[in-house]
Each structure stands twice: as structure tokens, then as C-alpha cells.
């Protein structure tokens, strides 16, 4: 076939590329990659759910082969290939990706490890309970339908979602020149937020966040920068740091274990990547502290065990793993969705507002539909009741008519042409009939059993019920507040059904650097009477004169790898790593111990090196006169705060003395206690019992009603004097007596 010059169309290549690419981009944005702001679904997800609904796969029906679902979806609504449809179907079954999975899968649909799903011919699926909340009342005409790709079927433009799916399940998608990344949120919190908006449409973003404080990922974890959430929710864009949840446990052979119990949402469906990453770090000796890595995860939950070599700091290793692996990752938030065929970035308030607006539209249409149905039924019931009153006439009309059409014309228009009547009065009365078409059809279809008195009574009851419903529907449609009340009632029912405890922890945690090498050094911790604390090198301390050290009330020798244990009068023990105590010159002020270990208003009474405690015994004395010995092993913990001793209400620790094993065994050591009233008592140290830290202790001294112990010390036999509040006290004046007795006044 020849082509003439007139048949050739000349096009500008650049213009054609621009036009074609724009059409392609719009198709990807609107018909493939981005969710609708109203139901929170992408087109392929909506079509799968609609196809399953058409197949009748509700939660109470048996599962159906996934291949059948994919085939119906592709053949009727989504002609884009079976693999993309099946991938979307699989995603909607994943409880580690969605807070409320929309499809109930049966068979191998993959795992959180990253295992792929079995072929669609092997798996089965049906709708979940939460999917029903997106499909309810579809038959009531609440949403618009449009022709499918070949105009052989109709499909909904949007599902009548009465559950805020977009915020609850979140979504992710990459279009042309834009992407969406909406994190999942807690169902109960989102529903509370929507209800709060319905109660107060002028609610601020800040107040809305009291109900929706932040994302709640199905994999749990910790959001470590929750202070950034207000700005992210205001602008619709930002970055969230998500960290794995870990615990440090005692392992075998004296080793410590770092146990990962929850992983970041960013690696949901690819947990194996994290395990392989940890194993490669161990094999490559990137972290020499790692002894072994095991994945002990099961149906009960995630459990990745990282064994730490002996004498290595598990917390320091954890800091390094958070830096080098995906145990801490960044989730980029982009609240992008389609509204009126236009992609827009929404704020949190904007998403809630759009959903609430959609609900008002849906519920208005629903009640208009219900009102119309009720009015139509009332019309029929009224006709049936009227017909029962003139049933003899109607029977005469039917018997005298030659066709149903003739009888129907008589009932509607009073047309009595060619109808044979037995009585002239019946003929005249028939000419006055004016039933509606619906009433006439119902009368002609009415069985004779409806003439029973009980059936007529039921019609009267139905009429009254319909009148009540019509009144209710009209009130709801006329009153916006009542419409909102109906919306809230259903949302509350959904909350009761779908609400679950929050999984993701919201906090602000500063990233701590990993210290790869640490030179062990001798240092001294110096604390003055105001609580200002600093560490100095052993060489600096050795050169300091007695006068320079006089101002420090506590001097604790230790290693720079050790921890400083701080005991308070309230019976607590805090720990501070030596590396966190500022290294200063002798003349520098240092930092308050209250800021270093967050003691708050508690009164610090004793300091000790963590390593020193293990070879020692601690003598605890309280102001109410209780005393006990506690082994230093009792304080073996990695926790920054723990209970050091049990106290009764109103009691407090007044003295803690560090003793060596030789001190305990010595028969001639004595304990001296002095009360606020000046009474003193000395008794042998061997009379003090060793107890657990949770024990109350034994009686050290009998006190008068308002008297309290003010001072305690342990004296070797050769000690002649000791200092008490700046006074020099003769040791020999305090004679040895039995523990628990009353003190002597003249001893001071």
C-alpha cells in the first residue's frame, strides 16, 4: 500500500515526548501508585477487595483459591498482569506490614524473615473483618461506580470505607516524580482522633496529637525522636528514627546476651537481612566483642540473640550495632494521597478532616437511601392496609377482569372499562380507586394469608415502626450533630472490635557513640561537699598536696572502665560509667552528681567503685535503728537504677560502711552508733547479721520515741579517737555492750 505525502503527519519529537510522558505519569499517579485519601487504597487493592466481595468471600465463608481471585480481578477490573495483583493480595495479608490486614490468607503467604509466598495456585484467601468495614453498604449506592477498562463491568471509584484505613494501615508507593510513605497508626488512637475532630472541627494539630501521638508500627520498636513528630504531622513530611527493642540478659559461661525482641518497621518482611548482617560483622571481626549470633524467633515473637564475649561491655557493643546495622533505621514520612484526581501532601489534621468529611457524605447518602426505602415500604404497607379494608371490592375487580393489566389499571386509575361487576355500587366504588403503582403491584401479589387478623396486626405494627424510622432518618439528615453522633457510634463499635495496645514506644533517645578501643587507666573520682564530681588521672592525683585534696569529702580510686555506684538515703543505688564523669584538672569544678545519674532530690550518702563491691560487704544502718550486712555481689546489675535496701515508711539510710572480709571475721571490731539526742552505743561487729538487700535488718540500738540514729562507724581495736561532726570523741569512753540495747548519754 502506497502512502501519499498528504497522509504523513509531522510531529515535534520533543512535544510528543512531553505529552506522552505526561499522560504516562498521570496514569501511574492516579491509577497505580498512590492511594485515595478517602478509603486509603490504591486502585489494585480496591479492585481485589471488590472482586472478592463479588465472589462472596466474607470472613464466614470458606477460603477461595488465590488464583481465582487474581483471575477475576485481572479479567474484570485490573488488566496489568497477574504477578502485580498477587503481590498486592499477599501484602494485604501481612500482619507485620499492616495493623489490620484486609485479607485473611490460608497457606504460605511468606514471613517476616523475607520468605516469598507460595504460588497463587497453592494459597487461598478471603476477606478479613476489617475489610468488611471498607465494603459495607456497597449495595446502597453510597459511592459512584464507573465502567471498567472494556466497559463490560462496573466498578466503584472508591469504597464506602467507614474505618480510617489510610492512617491505621499506612501505605507506601512510588509514582513518577513523587512518592508516598504513610506510617501505620494504632487503630484505637486514630478512631479517638476522628471522634475528637467530629466533636470539635476547629481542633488544633497539637490537641489532635493527644489522641494520635505518633505512628504505631505492627513490628513494635522504638521511635527515638518523637519531638520531631509535631513538625512532621504539621507539614506532612519528615524523618523518623526507628530502633529495634533490645534487652541485655545473662548468658552462658558468664557471658552477656543482647536480645532483639522487636525490629524496625523498615525491615518488616526482611528480618533475615538483619541476621545475615550481624553474622557477617561477626565473621569479618568488625565487632570483636561478638561471640555468636542466633535467630531464636518463633510464633511467639522475634528473638535474635547476640552473645557478647566475657569482660566486654554489651551496652557499648549495642551502641555500635545501632550505628552499623539496620537495628536503627530512618523512616521517611510523606503524607501524600490523591484527592479529586490530584496528588496532595496532607497534614495529620488534613487526613483526619478528609476522612471525617467522607464519612459525613457516606452517612448522608446512607440515610437518604434508608429514608427512601422506608418511605417506599410505608407506601406499600399503607396500600395493603387500605386493600384489606376493601378486600371484597378488590376480589370482585379481579374476578371481573380479563387480564392482570386490566385489574391493575382499575386499581391505579379507576378504569372500569370491560370489567364485569356483580353490583352497581361496586362499579361506582371501583371508579374512585387511586392506588399507586407500587401499591397495586403489592396488592396483586398479596397472598390470601395476609387477610388473617394477626397478619393485619403485623402490618399495623410495621407501619408504626416505619413512621418512627422515617422520623429518625429525617432528623439525622436535618441535624448535622445527630449525623455526627451516628458516625461516632459506629466508630466506637469499631474501636471495641479492632483496638489493640500500642506496640511502638515513643521516646527521645540520643544516639551514643561506639568506643572501639579503650585503654584501661587508673583514675580517682573526687566529690566535694556540694556534690560536684570529677575524675582525674592517677598521676594528677599523686602530685596533689594534702591541702588541695582537703575540700573533697569523697575520693574513690577506680579504673576508667569501671562504674561509680551512688547510694542515697532513700535506699536506692544509681550507676554512672566512669567515662561519663568529666575528666578535669584538679582546680576545675566538675559536674553535679545529681545531673550525672539523675538522682533528683535524693540525698547521696555513699560512693563506691562497682568493681570494689564484689569483694566487699556493705554495712547499712537506718535512722530508725536497723542494721545489716549485705554482700556486694547483691549489686551486680547493668541497670542504672536499682533498690539498694528495703526501708519502712518514714525510715532512711544514715550510714553505709564498706568492709572487707577480714573486717567481718575480726572478733575485736566494734560498731559505734550515735543518736541525735547524744546517746551512743558500741557493740561487736560480729553481732550484725548478713542479709539480702531486700531484708529490713536487725535492731542496732533501742531508741527513745522521738530519737533517731545520726551517725555510725566501725572501729578497729587500736582506734583511740574518731571524728563526729567536727568533734573528737574518745573511743574508749564508748564501752562495748550487746547490740540492740539502750545507749549511754555521757559517752560524748
β-pairing verdict for 222-223 and 505-506: parallel
pLDDT band, very low/low/confident/very high, at 397 (cuts 50, 70, 90) = confident
How many CB atoms are closer than 10 A to CB 142? 21
Band of residue 36 on the pLDDT scale cut at 50, 70, 90:
very high
Q: How far is CA 219 from CA 244, 355, 508, in A?
A: 9, 26, 19
Residue 564 burial (CB count, 10 A): 25
Which residues belong to CATH 1.10.268.10 in the chain? 360-498
Phi, psi of 713 (to 5 degrees): -150, 160
The SS3 call for residue 550 is coil
The rounded distance, in Å, linking the Cα atoms of 714 and 447 is 107
Span of 55-64, 91-100, 666-675 with lowest mean pLDDT: 666-675
Write the DSSP string, 115-128: PPPPPTTT-EEEE-
* Rounded Cα gap, residues 743 and 737, in angstroms: 9
Residue 55 grid cell: 465472589
Q: Which pLDDT tens digit goes with each residue over 37-53?
A: 999 999 999 999 999 99
pLDDT tens, position by position, 60-87: 999 999 999 999 999 999 998 899 999 9
218, 99 in Cβ contact below 8 A? yes
Q: Where in the chain is the domain with CATH 2.120.10.90?
A: 522-733
Domain 522-733: CATH architecture, name and number where available: 6 Propeller (2.120)
Lowest mean pLDDT among 156-170, 264-278, 390-404: 390-404
pLDDT-derived band at 550 (thresholds 50, 70, 90) equals confident
The number of CA neighbours under 13 Å toward the Cβ of 731 is 17
Q: Using one digit for the tens of pLDDT, what is the confidence trace for 340-385?
A: 888 999 999 999 999 999 999 999 999 999 999 999 999 999 888 8
Cα 465–468–469 angle (5° rounding)? 90
CA-CA distance, 582 to 578, in Å (whole number)?
Answer: 8
From the list 193, 200, 199, 195, the residue with the least C-alpha distance to 214 is 193
Query: Which strands form 552-559's sheet, in the order they lie side by side?
Result: 552-559, 522-528, 532-537, 591-592
- CA–CA gap between residue 136 and residue 161 (Å, rounded): 8
Using pLDDT thresholds of 50, 70 and 90, give the confidence band for residue 28.
Answer: low
The pLDDT of residue 30 is 65
Buried b (16+ CB within 10 A) or exposed e, 291-308: bebebebeeeebebbbbb
**For residue 583, what is its C-alpha cell?**
575528666
| 192, 70 contact by CB (below 8 A) | no
Q: What is the pLDDT of residue 728?
A: 81
Q: How confident is the model at residue 3 (pLDDT cuts 50, 70, 90)?
A: low
601 — phi, psi (to 5°)? -95, 10
The fraction of the chain above a pLDDT of 70, given in percent, is 95
Q: Which stretch of DSSP H or E encloses residue 596?
A: helix 593-597
Cα-based torsion angle of the residue sequence 466, 467, 472, 473 in order, rounded to the nearest 10 degrees: 60
> Alpha-carbon distance 259 to 305, whole Å?
5
Residue 651, C-alpha cell as written in the block: 525510715
- CATH 3.30.1360.40 range(s) for the chain read 245-326
Judge whether 231 and 238 are in contact, CB under 8 Å. yes
Q: What is the pLDDT of residue 353?
A: 96
187-199 vs 348-389: helix axis angle to the nearest 10? 80
**Is the CB of residue 596 less than 8 Å from the CB of residue 615?**
no
C-alpha cell at 576: 554512672
pLDDT tens readout for residues 166-191: 999 999 988 877 889 999 999 999 99
Question: Where do the CATH 3.90.199.10 domains begin and end in the chain?
Answer: 41-160
- Residues 548-556 have a mean pLDDT of 88
Among 234-243, 405-414, 502-511, 723-732, the range of highest mean pLDDT:
234-243
Report how far apart the first and last C-alpha atoms of the chain are (Å, whole number).
128
Helix/strand/coil (H/E/C) assignment for every residue in 303-363: CEEEEECCCCCHHHHHHHHHHHCCCEEEEEEECEEEECCEEEECCHHHHHHHHHHHHHHHH
CATH number of 245-326: 3.30.1360.40
Given a contact cutoff of 8 angstroms between Cβ atoms, the answer to whether 220 and 500 are in contact is: no
Give the model's confidence band at 300: pLDDT under 50 very low, under 70 low, under 90 confident, else very high: confident
pLDDT attached to residue 506: 95
At residue 5 the predicted structure's pLDDT band, cuts being 50, 70 and 90, is low
What is the pLDDT averaged over residues 431-443?
89
Three cell numbers written together for 285: 571481626
Find the DSSP H helices in 602-647: 610-613
Find where cell 530508725 sits.
Answer: 624
Look at residue 688 and tell me whether its pLDDT is greater than 80. yes
**Burial (CB count <10 Å: 0-12, 13-18, 19+), residue 701:** buried
Confidence band, pLDDT 50/70/90 cuts, at residue 203: very high
Decide if 233 contacts 76 (C-beta within 8 A): no
Q: Give helix 453-478 / helix 348-389 axis angle, nearest 10°.
A: 150
Indicate whether 25 pLDDT > 70.
no
CB count in 10 Å sphere of residue 554: 18
pLDDT tens by residue, 149-160? 899 999 999 999
What SS3 state is found at 289?
A: coil
Vertex 540 angle, CA 536 and 542, to 5°: 115
Query: For a pLDDT cut of 90, what percent of the chain falls above it?
Result: 47
More confident residue, 637 or 346: 346
On the question of pLDDT at 453 being above 80, the answer is: no
- Give me the pLDDT at residue 516, please: 64
Cell numbers that stand for 118 in this block: 507460595
**pLDDT at position 334, please?**
95
Question: Which residue do the cell numbers 547524744 mark?
Answer: 678
pTM given for the model: 0.67
CA 110 to chain centre: 23
Superfamily of chain region 360-498:
Topoisomerase, domain 3 (1.10.268.10)
Residues 61, 65, 69: CA angle, nearest 5 degrees: 90
pLDDT value at residue 585:
84
Residue ranges of alpha helices (H) inside 79-228 are 82-91, 129-135, 165-169, 187-199, 205-208
Contact (CB, 8 A) for 88 and 156: no
* CATH class (in words) of the domain with range 41-160: alpha beta
Cβ of 460: how many Cβ atoms within 10 Å?
A: 11
User: Beta partners for 466?
Assistant: none
What is the secondary structure of 231-285 as a DSSP string? Answer: HHHHHSEEEEEEE-EEEEEE-GGG-EEEEEEE--GGGTT-HHHHHHHHHHHHHTT
Q: Cell triple for residue 730? A: 574518745
Q: Is the pLDDT of residue 470 over 90?
A: yes
Q: What is the 3-state secondary structure (H, E, C) of 405-444?
A: HHHHHHHHHCCCCCCCCCCHHHHHHHCCCCCCHHHHHHHH
* Three-state SS at 373: helix
Q: What is the pLDDT of residue 748?
A: 60
182-211 burial by CB neighbour count: b if 16+ within 10 A, else e?
Answer: bbbbbbbbbbbbbbbbbeeeebebeebbeb
Annotated catalytic sites, by residue? 122
56 Cβ contact list (under 8 Å, min separation 6): none
Amino acid at each position: 500500500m502506497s502512502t501519499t505525502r498528504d497522509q504523513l503527519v509531522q510531529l515535534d519529537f520533543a512535544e510528543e515526548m512531553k505529552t506522552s510522558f505526561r499522560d504516562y505519569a498521570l496514569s501511574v499517579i492516579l491509577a497505580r501508585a498512590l492511594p485515595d485519601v478517602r478509603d486509603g487504597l490504591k486502585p489494585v487493592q480496591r479492585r481485589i477487595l471488590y472482586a472478592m466481595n463479588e465472589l462472596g468471600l466474607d470472613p464466614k465463608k470458606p477460603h477461595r483459591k488465590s488464583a481465582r481471585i487474581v483471575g477475576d480481578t485481572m479479567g474484570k477490573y485490573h488488566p496489568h498482569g497477574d504477578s502485580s495483583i498477587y503481590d498486592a493480595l499477599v501484602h494485604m495479608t501481612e500482619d507485620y506490614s499492616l495493623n489490620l490486614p484486609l485479607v485473611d490468607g490460608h497457606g504460605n503467604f511468606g514471613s517476616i524473615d523475607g520468605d516469598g509466598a507460595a504460588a497463587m495456585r497453592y494459597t487461598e484467601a478471603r476477606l478479613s473483618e476489617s475489610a468488611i468495614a471498607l465494603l459495607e453498604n456497597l449495595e446502597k449506592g453510597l459511592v459512584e461506580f464507573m465502567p471498567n477498562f472494556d466497559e463490560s463491568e462496573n466498578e466503584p471509584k472508591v469504597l464506602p470505607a467507614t474505618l480510617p484505613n489510610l492512617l491505621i494501615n499506612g501505605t507506601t508507593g512510588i509514582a513518577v516524580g513523587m512518592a508516598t510513605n504513610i506510617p501505620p497508626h494504632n487503630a484505637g488512637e486514630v478512631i479517638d482522633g476522628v471522634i475528637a475532630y467530629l466533636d470539635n472541627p476547629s481542633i488544633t494539630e497539637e490537641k489532635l496529637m493527644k489522641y494520635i501521638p505518633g505512628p504505631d508500627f505492627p513490628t513494635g520498636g522504638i521511635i527515638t525522636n518523637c519531638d520531631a513528630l509535631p513538625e512532621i504531622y504539621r507539614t506532612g513530611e519528615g524523618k523518623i528514627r526507628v530502633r529495634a527493642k533490645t534487652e541485655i540478659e545473662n548468658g552462658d559461661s558468664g557471658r552477656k546476651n543482647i536480645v532483639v525482641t522487636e525490629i524496625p518497621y523498615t525491615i518488616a518482611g526482611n528480618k533475615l537481612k538483619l541476621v545475615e548482617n550481624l553474622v557477617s560483622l561477626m565473621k569479618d571481626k568488625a565487632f570483636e566483642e561478638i561471640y555468636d549470633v542466633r535467630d531464636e524467633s518463633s510464633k511467639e515473637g522475634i528473638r535474635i540473640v547476640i552473645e557478647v564475649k566475657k569482660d566486654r561491655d554489651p551496652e557499648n557493643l549495642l551502641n555500635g550495632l545501632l550505628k552499623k546495622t539496620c537495628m536503627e533505621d530512618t523512616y521517611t514520612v510523606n503524607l501524600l494521597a490523591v484527592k479529586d484526581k490530584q496528588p496532595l501532601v496532607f497534614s495529620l489534621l488534613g487526613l483526619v478532616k478528609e476522612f471525617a468529611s467522607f464519612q459525613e457524605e457516606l452517612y448522608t447518602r446512607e440515610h437518604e437511601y434508608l429514608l427512601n426505602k422506608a418511605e417506599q415500604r410505608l407506601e406499600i404497607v399503607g396500600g395493603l392496609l387500605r386493600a384489606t379494608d376493601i378486600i371484597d371490592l378488590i376480589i370482585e375487580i379481579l374476578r371481573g377482569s380479563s387480564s392482570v393489566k386490566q385489574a391493575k389499571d382499575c386499581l391505579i386509575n379507576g378504569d372500569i372499562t370491560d370489567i364485569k361487576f356483580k353490583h352497581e355500587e361496586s362499579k361506582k366504588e371501583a371508579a374512585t380507586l387511586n392506588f399507586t403503582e407500587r401499591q397495586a403491584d403489592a396488592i396483586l401479589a398479596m397472598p390470601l394469608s395476609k387477610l388473617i387478623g394477626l397478619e393485619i396486626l403485623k402490618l399495623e405494627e410495621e407501619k408504626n415502626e416505619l413512621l418512627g424510622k422515617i422520623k429518625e432518618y429525617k432528623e439525622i439528615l436535618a441535624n448535622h450533630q445527630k449525623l455526627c453522633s451516628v458516625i461516632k457510634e459506629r466508630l466506637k463499635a469499631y474501636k471495641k472490635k479492632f483496638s489493640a495496645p500500642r506496640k511502638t514506644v515513643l521516646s527521645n533517645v540520643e544516639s551514643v557513640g561506639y568506643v572501639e578501643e579503650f585503654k584501661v587507666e587508673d583514675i580517682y573520682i573526687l566529690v566535694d561537699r556540694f556534690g560536684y564530681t570529677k575524675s582525674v588521672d592517677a598521676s594528677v592525683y599523686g602530685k596533689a598536696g594534702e591541702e588541695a585534696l582537703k575540700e573533697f569529702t569523697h575520693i574513690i580510686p577506680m579504673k576508667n572502665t569501671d562504674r561509680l555506684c551512688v547510694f542515697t538515703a532513700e535506699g536506692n543505688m544509681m550507676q554512672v560509667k566512669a567515662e561519663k564523669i568529666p575528666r578535669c584538672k584538679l582546680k576545675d569544678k566538675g559536674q553535679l552528681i545529681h545531673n550525672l545519674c539523675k538522682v533528683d532530690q535524693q540525698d547521696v550518702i555513699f560512693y563506691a567503685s562497682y568493681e570494689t563491691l564484689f569483694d566487699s560487704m556493705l554495712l547499712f544502718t537506718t535512722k530508725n535503728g536497723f542494721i545489716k550486712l549485705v554482700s556486694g555481689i547483691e549489686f551486680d546489675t547493668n541497670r542504672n537504677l536499682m533498690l539498694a535496701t528495703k526501708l519502712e515508711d518514714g525510715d532512711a539510710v544514715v550510714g553505709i560502711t564498706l568492709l572487707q572480709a577480714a573486717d567481718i571475721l575480726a572478733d575485736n571490731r566494734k560498731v559505734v552508733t550515735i543518736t541525735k539526742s547524744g546517746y551512743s552505743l558500741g557493740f561487736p561487729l560480729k553481732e550484725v547479721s548478713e542479709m539480702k538487700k531486700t531484708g529490713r535488718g536487725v535492731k542496732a540500738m533501742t531508741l527513745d520515741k522521738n530519737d533517731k540514729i545520726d551517725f555510725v562507724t566501725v572501729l578497729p581495736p587500736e582506734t583511740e579517737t574518731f571524728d563526729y561532726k567536727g568533734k573528737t570523741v574518745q573511743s574508749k569512753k564508748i564501752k562495748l555492750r550487746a547490740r540492740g540495747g539502750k545507749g549511754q548519754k555521757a559517752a560524748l
